[in-house]
Copies of this chain bind each other. A is one copy, B any other.
Amino acid sequence: MANLKQFLMIPGPTQVPENVALQGAHGMINHRSADFKKVFESVIAGVKELYLTKNDLFIFNSSGTGALEAAVSNIVGPGDKVVGVSIGNFGERFQKIAKAFGGEVIPLDFAWGTAADPKKLKEILDADTKKEIKAVLMTQNETSTGVVNDIKALAEVVRAHGALIVVDAVSGLLAEPLKVDEWGLDIVASGSQKAFMVPPGLGILSVSAKAWKVIETTKRHCYYFDLLQWKKFAPNGETPWTPALSLFFQMDEALKMLRAEGIDKILARHQLLKKAARSAARALGFGLLAEDDKCASPAVTAIVPPAEVDAEALRKLCRTKYGVTLAGGQGKLAGKIFRISHLGYIDQLDIISAFAAIEMAMSELGQKVVLGSSVKAIQEVLLKG
């Protein structure tokens, strides 16, 4: 069915509001001009407001992974020691990036589906009496498992040690609270294609005064993401290399919507949809990879279908017959789970539509399903608010 209405329910790229989408058709302007400076400054100010930070902030032409590389390659040179906290696929990626740039990575891995334990991090940092550890890399929202880390608690432990706190907030920002300045987060990465409701292509990074000192003194291998270059151009409302103008125009439009909504309402909307999705999954007898509600992600819910159901067959049926695109499992979870996103421009009725489709697909796969049962569970959550 070529004209099937599409419900994109993956944790990035997320759906883009029509007014934001249309800005992608904007004509080109000189990127070294007062006209671009206006857009640049408006976008930087808007993102800083949502980051809750007064730190410097940069926007690269890159995916979220590019922003992670910028976060790491500016502070990690050959032989530098860092701790990489991992609770899933993206935690592992952060460790790999540090290794790629010559870093000596101390891995702190937790079981997929659980959150990081600040006490374990404290043990490692306490043992580092020579203060050789330069930074701790951590993921706010692990998209692969649907688990959020307690960044506030982890950051507190790192602050006591003195290392830099480097956070991958790509998929978690604006879904789960993140207080960059209040919690003393030194480097925080995100991307356009998540809660910002903009197509992929912009990587975002905030940098604290403490981080600048490390950047200025680290012998390192980077150029495209060399923050010292970016810092030189920013005061003129410029980027060192040609910016992705059309995405900047879209970001500017999306920020208008997000700033008008306000951070509290944005966070509350994600929390509500998280509750709705988890309640729906439970009503259908599905397992939840993040069993603990407290560490469950407000961006994406990772669902474990009954053993006799092939997660990939379920996803395929939802997509081909109902236009509902769900995400699959990543890394070692491939084929074992499916994930439903409630990140960004996803509406309460989108969640209902998605689960209605999942119910019908389950029924078609020969499973006993009480039709409407997950929809009812969602409605109850929504009515309670």
Contacts and interface: CB of A to CB of B under 8 A. Distances in A.
Contacts of A28: 8, 13-16, 193, 199
Contacts of A201: 61, 201, 244, 246-247
Q: How many copies does the complex hold?
A: 2
Interface size band for A: 35 or more
Q: Which 7 A-B pairs have the closest CB atoms?
A: A24-B24, A201-B244, A63-B241, A100-B223, A65-B241, A221-B221, A199-B246
Given A8-B29, A8-B30, A226-B100, A200 B242 contact: yes
A224 B66 contact: yes
> Mostly helix, strand, loop or mixed at chain A's interface?
loop
Given A8-B30, A247-B244, A325-B30, A97 B61 contact: no
A277 interface: no
Interface in A27-56: 27-31, 33
B22 A25 contact: yes
A96 interface: yes
B199 A244 contact: yes
Contacts of A65: 223-224, 240-242
B247 A246 contact: yes
A222 interface: yes
Contacts of A362: none
Contacts of A246: 24, 199, 201, 246-247, 250
Nearest to A246: B199
A242 B100 contact: no
Nearest to A243: B200
Interface in A7-28: 8, 10, 12-16, 21-28
